[in-house]
Amino acid sequence: MNDNRIILCRCEDVTLRDFRQAYAEGFTELESLKRYTGLGTGFCQGKGCLSEAVLELAVLRDADPAGIRLTNIRPPAEPLTFAQLAGLDIPEHPAQADTGEDQS
């Protein structure tokens, strides 16, 4: 099938061809492929595409996928609104957390 019609990252619309082209341009590291194509930077934060990307990278490198490092996984696990975050009961200063005192 035409690699321009296979979508690797659905959130950011990155096709298999985009990915292969970026690799051919010298973005041979998954971390760099992520920044160049946008792969894995959308709503699912790579949950739907990173493992596929590793398999494809293994083919391109003619290497064992087990030896390919994933990109760093960044929090949060699911996108949260600023309002949700602002409402969390987390002290602003680490010292407060350490003392366990109720600051409110």
Partner 1 sequence: MIPLSQGPVPATADAVLVGGGINGLATAYELARRGLKNIVVIEQNYIGSGSTGRCGGGIRQQWTTAENIRLAQESVALYEKMSAELGYQVFFRQGGYLMITESEADLPALREAVALQNRCSVPTEFLQPAECLKIVPELDVSRLKGATFCPRDGTAYPFAVVWGYARACHRLGVKIFIRTAVRDILSDDGRVLGVETDRGRISAPVVVNCAGPWARHLAAKVGVELPNRQERHEIMVSESLKPFLDPMVISITNGIYFSQSLRGEIVGGIGDPHEPHWQDPADFDTRSQLRFAVRFARALIQLYPRAAEVRLMRQWAGLYDVTPDHRPILGGVPGLGGYYHICGFSGHGFMLGPVTGRRMAAQITTGHPDEIINSLSLSRFENGDLQTDAFVVG
- Report which of 92, 91, 104, 45 is spatially closest to residue 70, judged by C-alpha positions: 45
Looking at the Cβ atoms of 55 and 74, the one nearer to partner 1 is 74
User: Please, what is the minimum distance in Å from the beta carbon of residue 36 to partner 1?
Assistant: 8
Identity of the residue numbered 61: R
Looking at the Cβ atoms of 59 and 73, the one nearer to partner 1 is 73
Per the listing, tokens 């596929």 go with: 52
User: Please, what is the minimum distance in Å from the beta carbon of residue 48 to partner 1?
Assistant: 15
Identity of the residue numbered 17: R
Looking at the Cβ atoms of 2 and 72, the one nearer to partner 1 is 72
B/e letters for 54-71, b = 16+ CB within 10 Å, e = fewer, are bebbeeeeeeeeeeeeeb
Q: Name the site residues for partner 1 (rule: CB under 8 A).
A: 24-29, 31-32, 35-36, 38, 41-43, 45, 72, 74-76, 79-83, 85-86, 88, 90-95, 97
